[in-house]
Structure 1
Amino acid sequence: MKPAKPSSATMDEQTFVPPTMRALYYTPLPTIPNDPTAVSSQTSITFDTDFPVPKPSPAQYLIKVQTAAFSHDEVRLAGLLNPTQSMPQIPLHNVCGTVISTPSQDHWNAEGPKFKVDDVVFGLVSYSRDGAAADYVLAYEDELAFKPRNISAAEAATIPLPALTAWQAIFTYAGLDDNPDRNTSNGKRKHLRVLVTNAYNNEVGMQAIQLLRSKSLFPNQHRPWICVTCSSPEEEFALRQNHHVDETIVAPLPVDPSFDLATPFRSNRWDPVDIALDCADGLLFHQAHSPHVVKNHGAVLTAVDSTPAQTQQHTEKDDKGKRGLFSRFIAVEPDGHALGRIASLVEEQALRGRVESIVDLVNGADILDAGAAGANGARRGGMFVVRVN
């Protein structure tokens, strides 16, 4: 590898990168016997100690992975986030690691690339490429931010996907302005009301609450009203005590078929919300479309239900006709600028990640194959960390 400008420290001197690395990757299971035309849609995960190290393009960084993370919701929805990904596919797109080489196209710029060799970064790698369950991963500048200095590499890896999903739900899909000095034309910023389902047990929900309670984003005069659903009185207490939510509804998952989300709104005379962020799936997502729960022309957004991803947009109706609800699956996109804002919130102690468990890369296949353990439970949105280097 060539250094940057002769007087620059953009790259170190001839950084050694081995030709192969350890990696986890998905491979298709064998096709049906005696049917050579059949294509299997099922995959298995393989641990390989001799996988080729990826070669960066002139615009890419090579990152030595310290930690990577995933949730079972993410694994379940990976095909929707990028249905055209070919095999083999290295999973785990949340990453924290060290810059090993920088984009060659930036080496002769006056300031060189944004991130230098030995910088520790975190980010969300696009689902259109291989992820970070390996010793090395490739990333573009707009997928990365500097790792917050006050948290571990394990915690840093748990933040990009859920925090960006929550950020994009609030500021992209729901259309709010992320600058507290500016108000939206429809006044949502000043009197914002938000519902978050399965808030305590899903990292997207927890990140959303932390963003909504950040004084940098929502000063006291714009403090949102937050209502959450959770699974137990203990979770209810923690959400009120630690995150200062305004109202709580106990609705354990899986939700009882007789439960009606609109009932507590009616009985407590709560006004409908502007935004419902679904982190539960199924019944709660569909009930959030009630006129008692979300106001006309509000947003019902889901981080876990694939149906809106396939219908793209859907308008609910009541007896008076169209209500104009914007109902969508949040197809999260890498965003280095937003992630930099999120990193600042972490350093301000306004936002933190949560580590469900930590395993070494060699044991990562076991926890990924055990996805069924999180398939129907409330904690399927919890973040599992894989320690790589």
Structure 2
Amino acid sequence: MSIPKTMRALVQQNPQSTNLTLTTVPTPQPAPNTSNEHLIRVHAVAPCAGELLWPKNFPPPVPRDTYIPGPDFAGTVVTAPSSSPFRVGDEVYARANYLRNGAASEYTISVTEEIARRPRGISAVQGTAIPLSSQTAWQALFVQAGVGDLESGNWMGKRVLVTAASGNVGRWVVQLAKIAGATVVGTAGVGNLEAVRSLGADEVLDYRSVDLKEWAAAPGAKVDVVIDCIGRKSLEDAWWAVKDGGTVLSIFQPPNTAVPEGYTGKDVKDLFFIMGPNREHLEAITKLVDEGRVTGLVDSVWPIEQFEEVFKRVEGGRARGKVVIDFALNS
């Protein structure tokens, strides 16, 4: 296929501002003699909450007036290096590395280490809902928590508490922890309790009405691992639920910044991490999707021209699933 010299893209021209502009920019090209860069025709992209603040707080190594957001995407390989396991025409998806531009554009550059073939039988829009959230959950459970990987059997008999279990990452933690053999407890709002149960959670707690300190006082209630997906008060309360010698892990803030007053637990490991795109992890998730054992969730689908509404929806905190821009739609 012919590659246009220019493309439509959302650009955050001023890192001090969260304003975006839909404009025309040069189509990116893989570096000469590259061994891992692919040009991808983007079909769909999913922004994530807070990402427009990243350039201000963590300036990316790209020209500041041409930063393109959008970390999760699905698309088609247009060009590939000869050493690549991917070929022109392959349908792929990925979480874009922050070291390069995102994919809120008609074309993007992605590297071998982060892309995987899109699961069979799902659309680009559905695929876009998967990479960031699923890899974050995978790494929290099977890399950071220190219990074991998916197939180790070490999760059998373990109890896991997931805060914000109906959220984009939480729903993946529930599904993956259950597949690994853990007993899963999730917190959610009253309107999402059944949704979390449907994902496989053994017990679901309404965070507005259940006091975790009181709940954890019951015999056998405490958990081996807390996976916190929302921080603040929920993380503070979750400390009461972990056993001595257990682990509190948060993807939102360092857990030691939210230890409740009067807490007397012993030998609890606390962890905070930021996920990194990993092809091996995404391929393992793809296999589970293909087998029908896990699923992503799309909240809504929008054309690129309505990007302002997209980001309002993403930042509003009421989306159930990923908010996706579909480049095939017209406003």
Return the TM-score normalized by structure 2.
Answer: 0.88
- Which runs of 5 or more residues in structure 2 are unaligned? none
Q: Secondary structure at the match of 2:316?
A: helix
Give the corresponding residue for 1:67: 44
* 1:316-340 CA-partner distances (Å, limit 9, x unpaired): 6997977333333330100001100
Larger Rg: 1
Give the corresponding residue for 1:25: 11
Query: Within the alignment, does 1:229 sit opposite 2:215 as a pair?
Result: no
| The one of 217, 225, 233 aligned to 1:283 | 233
Residues 18 and 52 of structure 2 are in contact (CA less than 8 Å); yes or no, is this contact kept in structure 1?
A: no
Give the corresponding residue for 1:84: 59
Matches within 5 A, 1:240-389: 240=197, 242-252=198-208, 260-266=211-217, 268-290=218-240, 293-303=241-251, 305=252, 307-308=253-254, 323-368=266-311, 372-374=315-317, 377=318, 379=319, 382-389=321-328
How many Å separate the matches in 2 of 1:47 and 1:355? 23
How many Å separate the matches in 2 of 1:160 and 1:27? 26
Q: Secondary structure at the match of 1:213?
A: helix
Determine what percentage of the aligned residue pairs are the same residue.
Answer: 29
- Which runs of 5 or more residues in structure 1 are unaligned? 1-14, 29-39
How many Å separate the matches in 1 of 2:327 and 2:27? 14
Report the CA distance between 1:118 and its aligned residue. Answer: 0.2
Give the corresponding residue for 2:135: 164
RCO comparison, higher one (Cα < 8 Å, 6+): 1
Give the corresponding residue for 2:162: 196
Match of 1:231, as an amino acid? G
Query: Within the alignment, does 1:239 sit opposite 2:196 as a pair?
Result: yes
How many Å separate the matches in 2 of 1:353 and 1:92? 17
Residues 314 and 326 of structure 1 are in contact (CA less than 8 Å); yes or no, is this contact kept in structure 2?
A: no
Matched length: 322
Residues 313 and 323 of structure 2 are in contact (CA less than 8 Å); yes or no, is this contact kept in structure 1?
A: no
Report the CA distance between 1:260 and its aligned residue. Answer: 3.2
How many Å separate the matches in 1 of 2:263 and 2:48? 40
When the two chains are superposed, the root-mean-square deviation of aligned CA atoms in Å is: 2.6
| The one of 46, 50, 55 aligned to 2:21 | 46
Q: Secondary structure at the match of 1:91?
A: coil
Q: Secondary structure at the match of 1:178?
A: coil
* 1:87-120 CA-partner distances (Å, limit 9, x unpaired): 23111110100000002xxx2xxxx420000000
Residues 60 and 138 of structure 1 are in contact (CA less than 8 Å); yes or no, is this contact kept in structure 2?
A: yes
Return the TM-score normalized by structure 1.
Answer: 0.76
How many Å separate the matches in 2 of 1:179 and 1:264? 28
* 1:328-354 CA-partner distances (Å, limit 9, x unpaired): 333010000110000000011001111
- Cα 1:179–1:169 shift into 2, 3 Å: closer
Residues 316 and 322 of structure 1 are in contact (CA less than 8 Å); yes or no, is this contact kept in structure 2?
A: no
Give the corresponding residue for 1:5: none
| The one of 203, 206, 210 aligned to 2:175 | 210
Report the CA distance between 1:362 and its aligned residue. Answer: 1.8
How many Å separate the matches in 2 of 1:79 and 1:351? 33
Q: Secondary structure at the match of 1:44?
A: coil
